[in-house]
Amino acid sequence: MNNIEIKNLNIGFVTEQGYRPALFDVSLKLKPGQMHAIVGESGCGKTLTATSILRLLPKNAVIKSGEIIFEKQNLLTLKESEMRKIRGAKIAFIPQDPMTSLNPLYTIGNQIIEAILCHKNISKQDAKREAINVLDMVKIPDAENKLNLYPHELSGGMKQRVIISTALALNAGVIIADEPTTALDVTIQAQIMSLLDEIKNEYNKSILIITHDLNLIGQYADEVSVMYAGNVVENAPNREFFNHPTHPYSKALLKSLPNESKNKLYTIEGAPPSIFENIPGCRFNPRCKYCTTQCKTEKPTLEEVMPFHSVSCFNYNFKM
């Protein structure tokens, strides 16, 4: 089953000022055959959460506690040799910047074929045929000739399709996409998201997508997790999230979206805290208009407020 469950994950960094926590009891589920989006402002812990699944963390990162369950095993307890068999082959990673994710010294064919040969015991000729096939799958025209091109000869959208094709070549059941539309124009962004959606539906892949673009995930995601300052503050099905956002931060994010009927853009006052700021209680309380004394002293936990919809807030039942 292509599902991943993160349970109470706590990660921090060892700095010159000592240990600083960065993720606080993060919990979420990626269900089989679904696209699950993690949204939030820059620095909220989206990418850290995603890369922790593959254990691709900075050297000064420390996993304090928690579990990441995949195929009935905790990925955090596996040996590095065991993780190498999972990375790419079972859980693929699409990095943030397509412009710098491919090696400029090798053709795209060499790079896709090398990835295939690392995980499959097949001939180079068979690997080449598979490379052509996956380039066709991601709708790159004239795939056989495109194998001979270097990354600089491709557009940003084409580079991203090449990276996605590698995940398909290895037949990974889970794809983690970290800001897959970064540095692409609006038209290409929609094409890449539509491609990921087709891959999910046609090949029954599970996709965890990291993004700050609510408009894009509103069209394609099945589930949404909202992160703020290292916390998951809301988990909900897509339609439920957009129609009935519950956490004050979620409501503020959606209210900030551009709208033709608005004369003025709504902004969330203040800025997210850094990992060096120790904020007691709810970490959103300095920016929340509905903050109470309880919010400043006690830390809320994720509680189910509707079926499959959970929120981390003492005062979620308010109107904004």
**What is the total count of domains within the chain?**
1
Domain-located, residue 309: no
Domain-located, residue 158: no
pLDDT band at 318 (very low <50, low <70, confident <90, very high): low
Q: Per residue in 58-79, pLDDT tens?
A: 999 999 999 999 999 999 999 9
Residue 298 pLDDT exceeds 70: yes
Phi, psi of 296 (to 5 degrees): -85, -10
pLDDT band at 1 (very low <50, low <70, confident <90, very high): low
CATH of the domain at 92: 3.40.50.300
Domain-located, residue 156: no
For residue 207, what are the domain limits? Answer: 4-98+171-221
Q: Per residue in 145-190, pLDDT tens?
A: 999 999 999 998 899 999 999 888 988 999 999 998 887 888 888 8
Domain-located, residue 200: yes
Under 8 Å between Cβ of 12 and 61: yes
Res 183: pLDDT? 75
Secondary structure of the chain in the HEC alphabet? CCCEEEEEEEEEEEECCEEEEEEEEEEEEECCCCEEEEECCCCCCHHHHHHHHCCCCCCCEEEEEEEEEECCEEHHHCCHHHHHHHECCCEEEECCCCCCCCCCCCCHHHHHHHHHHHHCCCCHHHHHHHHHHHHHHCCCCCHHHHCCCCHHHCCHHHHHHHHHHHHHHCCCCEEEEECCCCCCCHHHHHHHHHHHHHHHHHHCCEEEEEECCHHHHHHHCCEEEEEECCEEEEEEEHHHHHHCCCCHHHHHHHHCCCCCCCCCCCCCCCCCCCCCCCCCCCCCHHHCCCCCHHHHHCCCCCEEEECCEEECCCCCCCCC
Domain-located, residue 116: no
Domain-located, residue 29: yes
Res 96: pLDDT? 79
As beta bridge partners, residue 303 has: 311
Q: Per residue in 212-267, pLDDT tens?
A: 889 888 999 999 999 999 999 999 999 999 999 999 999 999 988 877 666 777 88
Domain-located, residue 262: no
pLDDT band at 53 (very low <50, low <70, confident <90, very high): very high
Pairing of strands 35-39, 223-228: parallel
Res 261: pLDDT? 66
Residue 297 pLDDT exceeds 80: yes
Domain-located, residue 234: no
Cα-based angle 57, 195, 39 (whole degrees, multiple of 5): 45
